[in-house]
Structure 1
Amino acid sequence: MKPLPRGRGEKDGVEIFVNSPRNDVSVRLIKALSFLVVFTAGAILGFSAATNIHQFMSRGKISLPSPVCIKDNIEDAESLNNYIMPKKLKHNMSDDELFWRASMAPRKSKYPYKRMPKVAFLFLTRRNLPLAPLWERFFRGHEDRFSVYVHSLPGHRLNVTRSSPFFRREIPSQTVAWGSVSLLDAERRLLANALLDFSNERFVLLSESCIPVFNFPTVYQYLTTSMNSFVESYDDPSQRGRGRYHRRMFPTIKLFQWRKGSEWFELNRKLAVDIIADVKYYSVFAKHCRPSCYPDEHYIPTYLNMFHGDMNSNRTITWVDWSRGGPHPAQLGRENITESFIQSIINNGTICTHNSVPTSVCFLFARKFSPSSLGPLLRISPRAMKF
Structure 2
Amino acid sequence: MQSRVVLAVEEGKENGISSRTNQSKALPLRLLKLLVLFLALCVAFTVISIYSIKHFGIQNLVTTVNSSFQPCYDEEPTGLERYIKPPSNLIHNMSDPELLWRSSFVPRIKKYPFPRVPKIAFMFLTKGPLPLAPLWERFLKGHEGYYSIYVHSLPSFQANFPPSSVFHNRQIPSQVSEWGRMSMCDAERRLLANALLDISNERFILLSESCIPVYSFSVIYNYLMRSKYSFMGAFDDPGPYGRGRYNENMFPVVNITDWRKGSQWFEINRKLAINVVEDTTFYPKFEQYCRPACYVDEHYFPTMLTIEAGNMLANRSVTWVDWSRGGAHPATFGGSDITEEFFKRIYEGHRCLYNNRNSSVCFLFARKFAPSALEPLLHIAPKVLGF
Counterpart CA distance in 2 for 1:204 and 1:185 is: 16
- Please show how residues 134-283 of structure 1 align to structure 2 within 5 Å: 134-283=135-284
Gaps of 5+ in 2: 1-34, 48-67
Q: Tell me by how many angstroms 1:344 deviates.
A: 2.1
Shift of 1:339: 1.4
Question: How far did 1:86 drift?
Answer: 1.4
Instruction: Give ranges in structure 1 of 5+ residues lacking alignment.
Output: 1-34, 48-66
- Range with greater deviation from structure 2 (281-290 or 200-209): 281-290
Confirm or deny: 8 A CA contact 1:128 1:159 kept in the other structure: no
Q: Over residues 129-161 of structure 1, what are the superposed CA-to-partner deviations in whole Å (9 max), with x where a residue is unaligned? A: 000010110000001100000000114222322
RMSD over aligned CA atoms reads 2.1
Alpha-carbon distance, 1:39 to partner? 5.5
Q: Does 1:93 align with 2:94?
A: yes
| Aligned CA distance change for structure 1 residues 40 and 106 (closer, same or farther; 3 Å) | farther
Moved more, 82-91 or 224-233: 82-91
Q: 1:365 is aligned with what amino acid? A: F
The answer to whether the 8 Å contact 1:116/1:145 transfers is yes
Give me the identity figure in percent: 53
Deviations 1:153-185 (A, max 9, x none): 114222322111111100000011111100000
1:368 is matched with 368
Q: TM-score, normalised by structure 2?
A: 0.82
**Cα deviation per residue 1:25-51 (whole Å; 9 max; x = unaligned)?**
xxxxxxxxxx9998646568999xxxx
* Shift in Å, 1:364: 0.2
Partners of 1:46 and 1:288 lie apart in 2 by 88
The structure in which a higher percent of residues are helix is: 2
Compare 256-265 and 155-164 and name the one that shifted more. Answer: 155-164
Contact 1:320 1:329 in 2 (8 A): yes
Aligned to 1:55: none
One-letter amino acid matched to 1:177: E
State the match for 1:63 in structure 2: none
Whole-angstrom CA distance in 2 between matches of 1:72 and 1:327: 55
The residue identity in structure 1 corresponding to 2:328 is P
- Contact preservation (8 Å) 1:157, 1:168: no
Q: Tell me whether 290-299 or 81-90 shows the greater mean CA deviation.
A: 81-90
**Deviations 1:327-346 (Å, cap 9, x if unpaired)?**
11011111111012112212
TM (norm. structure 1) is 0.82
Code of the residue aligned with 1:374 in structure 2: it is L
Cα deviation 1:262-292 (Å, max 9, x = unaligned): 0100000000001100011111111111122
Tell me which residue corresponds to 1:357. Answer: 357
Q: Is the 8 A contact 1:318 1:366 kept in 2?
A: yes
Q: 1:97-146 CA deviation, whole Å, 9 max, x = no partner? A: 00000000111112121110000000000100000010110000001100
| Count of aligned residue pairs for this structure pair | 332
2:380 equivalent in structure 1: 380
| 2:332 partner letter | Q
